[in-house]
A and B are shown apart, each in its own frame.
Chain A
Amino acid sequence: MNPDTRKTARARRQRRLQRRLPTNPYLQITSMTDMFTLILAFLLTFYDPSIVGAPSLVLPAVPVNAEEKPGPRIDVRSDGIVVDGVLVVTLDGHGGLRPGVERDAEGIPAVREALSARARDSATLLVACDKSAPYGIVGDVLASAHAAGFDDYRFVVESTR
């Protein structure tokens, strides 16, 4: 086959291919949108800003894998005590009570007050403590919870098992 004939055949093939392709092709992004929407929905469902990214609440990692129960939750962070997402007592940043915060033989009155309404609905209290929190403040919280009517505590931990 001479070179001119070959060039003509190639040009014909290209013209035929161009005729087959749409004149105004759009990027097909529907599947990609589906995928990203699913990923976003997954992340938003499992994203818990109360734990994730809170430097004042780092849970201890221990090898347990126990049954989980629902209930009202109290967070003992290094900078405050939070009951169901509401800051009740501000701490000094190291898990200690700030001067002037009232404390009595039954714990911390502000915590007791915040928990007493919730104790009517559930006997179980979820306690999420920062791993560096001294047991003194955890004990105060437990004493307050006990006085408010809770007798079953579930400590929220990061499971390594």
Chain B
Amino acid sequence: MFLMLVHDVSQADRNILQGGSFIDYLMVGAKHMLTGYDHLLFLLGVVFFLKGFKDIITFITAFTVGHSLTLLLATHFQLAVNEFLIDAIIGLSVFYKGFENLDLFKKVLKVSPPNLLRMVFLFGLIHGLGLSSRLQTMSVESERSFLNIIGFNLGVEFGQVLVLIPMVWLVNFWRKRSNFQAFYFALNTYLLLAGLVLMAIQLVHYAEH
């Protein structure tokens, strides 16, 4: 199970997408979301703000619309972005979410945090660029029909729903317990650290290449 949690472009995925069908693209998209720990960590940070069904719909829709837009358009028009830089910004988004959740905008910067919904949408756009760069790396352009890109995107959404269900359940379950504050601070402090580490790793890769 642990070995599956790899956020990478595996040769197995390349093989699947060579001559792959809509379903193949859908499956690889779902797998990519389920194994993409930077996307998962960002979603975890967002989940702390989802207290009701309305919140879930609003924020997840903003994130989904954001990453779907850039995933579909950037892939279709073959917009090449440096995947290391994009992944570094995605790492930054994880850090940002932890920073915001710990109320460090007010405590450290003495300012109010930017509108969360807008930021979730903005980071959704960036996550979509990251997903697009992966898809462009994994597949041959001539075989990447718009339908296949949509398949990959739907797979991403499917994977996202699969991840969100246990995440929302876990956070809401813990919310009712007396030690929720410790759990909240521990996880969000971890998001700060993990975001910095992810960003640093990608910047090192960028410098090396």
Q: Do A and B bind each other?
A: no
